[in-house]
Amino acid sequence: MDITLFSTNKEANFLQQYSNQIKINGLAAIDMQSTNQPQNSHTSTSRSSGSSEPCPAGTKWASRLLMECARAVSEKDSSKINHLLWMLNELASPYGDCEQKLASYFLQALFCKATDSGLRCYKTLTSVAEKSHSFDSARKLILKFQEVSPWTTFGHVASNGAILEALDGETKLHIIDISNTLCTQWPTLLEALATRNDETPHLKLTVVVTANIVKSVMKEIGQRMEKFARLMGVPFEINVISGLNNLGELTKEDLGVQEDEAIAVNCIGALRRIEVEERRAVIRMFQSLRPRVVTVVEEEADLFSSSVNHDFVKCFEECLRFYTLYFDMLEESFFPTSNERLMLERECSRSIVRVLGCDHHDHDDKNGGGECERRERGSQWSERLKEAFSPIGFSDDVVDDVKALLKRYRSGWALVLPPQGEDIDQTGVYLTWKEEPVVWASIWKPSN
């Protein structure tokens, strides 16, 4: 996940107030919005109100109730929405087990969708998180997450290996880093450059950030990166581009590319934050830089297709599938009382509200809606990227590095390579959790 927003007790208070609002005001608001809406007859796919009893402990009850409620919201069935929101609110807790937490955060998104309050909720949650953000809190959270899970380090190791191989032998390197990972990827790359057999190259790092919460700490991060590069003996400069509202505004001129530089473009969790209508133009802009290599790492979920077709239930189902895997991973990676785990879960809650609680027109910086959250699967990104780039396979050395990384973590993680000689359209490699793909990494070069 992008680690861009962090929470405090203030956010917990806000979430509790929202829960109370569901109990006191929420159902009345839904009834008002449902006025003049026809009452739909229920098909056999929907559970009747009488059968919606709490499930026994240890069963997967959350997804069943949440999907039932999502269908009711889609059908604008006010009586069923009221009943299921009440039931979910009674069962859910952000401090309970995995099922209770899923119910809590998806309940919030369903309530926002039903009452058309998603944008307001998202703005409030984001504002509360930004006010409490600090470099120390971000650093501690990221380091702890990287210690217990390869979710982010998988992409770092794969991308660093590909970049080092593509730029081998060059003396002036320019890496354009488009991510909100607070430069945690680059210390290991600096160490690798410092130990090269030939002359240590000069590295220029251009970091593009759009999230306000990341902008606030980039000055300190830049200073620490410069200090570390001096310690490693690597000639280094860092430039931060932070005046953009969204990545669609980024231009070639902003990046300060020089003719004698060997360029690498590194995109980790970046493409999904570009507005859907602007993705082709941004990819073409990358192509105009004539990079030696482009690395792309994205989480494996399709929250794009269903949004285009305005299919709320399908989008909800895919979002629930993805975050169920993520919450399960967090539950097995952290102690139950871990503050870091709670922070990561609350970051998810904002993303869930962003995707499910806000209408399409809210996904616009002019409305204050923040960046897009429309993830696509690796196969979908491949189709977009192939318009301007050609895929490159990961070398055996990089694959071995990734496999060695995964051995540091608990069982359940695996690396999946594309089948050899079976489907040339399959590109990149996948990180899987319990045999389910969760992160996709790939390498690209400009097409001739």
Rounded distance, CA 216 to CA 4, Å?
A: 11
Given a contact cutoff of 8 angstroms between Cβ atoms, the answer to whether 152 and 145 are in contact is yes
The values of phi and psi at residue 138, to 5°, are -65, -45
In a domain, 37, yes or no: no
Same domain, yes or no: 394 and 311: no
Rounded distance, CA 372 to CA 377, Å?
A: 15
Query: What percent of the chain shows pLDDT beyond 70?
Result: 81
DSSP category for residue 36: T
Rounded distance, CA 404 to CA 421, Å?
A: 25
Closest CA to 164 of 201, 135, 215, 124: 201
Same domain, yes or no: 221 and 257: yes
Query: What percent of the chain shows pLDDT beyond 90?
Result: 60
Which residues, 6+ apart, have CB-to-CB distance to 2 below 8 Å?
179, 180, 181, 211, 269, 273
Same domain, yes or no: 261 and 329: no
Q: Lowest-confidence range among 117-121, 127-131, 370-374?
A: 370-374
Same domain, yes or no: 315 and 194: no
Element of type H or E holding 327: helix 312-333
In this structure, the strands spanning 389-392 and 436-446 are antiparallel
Same domain, yes or no: 102 and 69: yes
In a domain, 290, yes or no: yes
Same domain, yes or no: 260 and 112: no
Same domain, yes or no: 95 and 224: no
Rounded distance, CA 225 to CA 217, Å?
A: 12
Structural domain harbouring 185: 149-300+375-406+437-446
Q: Lowest-confidence range among 195-204, 319-328, 387-396?
A: 195-204
Rounded distance, CA 86 to CA 108, Å?
A: 12
In a domain, 169, yes or no: yes
Sign of CA dihedral 397, 413, 140, 265: positive
Same domain, yes or no: 100 and 246: no
Tell which of 291, 323, 357 closes a domain: 357
What pTM does this model have?
0.85
Same domain, yes or no: 325 and 283: no
In a domain, 118, yes or no: yes
Q: What is the pLDDT of residue 18?
A: 47
Same domain, yes or no: 251 and 315: no
In a domain, 347, yes or no: yes
Comparison of pLDDT for 122 and 363, the residue scoring more = 122
Question: HSE on the CB side for 344, CA within 13 Å?
Answer: 28
In a domain, 127, yes or no: yes
Assign residue 262 the CATH number of its domain.
3.40.50.150
Given a contact cutoff of 8 angstroms between Cβ atoms, the answer to whether 426 and 418 are in contact is yes
Task: Write the pLDDT tens digit of every residue in 295-311.
Answer: 999 999 998 887 666 78
Overall domain count for the chain = 2
Both tokens assigned to 61: 């009850």
Could you tell me the pLDDT band of residue 10, with boundaries at 50, 70 and 90?
very low
Rounded distance, CA 11 to CA 28, Å?
A: 25
**How much is the average pLDDT of 128-156?**
88
In a domain, 321, yes or no: yes
Task: Write the pLDDT tens digit of every residue in 286-299.
Answer: 999 999 999 999 99
Same domain, yes or no: 250 and 294: yes
Same domain, yes or no: 380 and 248: yes
Closest CA to 292 of 167, 442, 156: 167
In a domain, 8, yes or no: no
Sign of CA dihedral 342, 214, 282, 391: negative
The mean pLDDT of the chain is 84
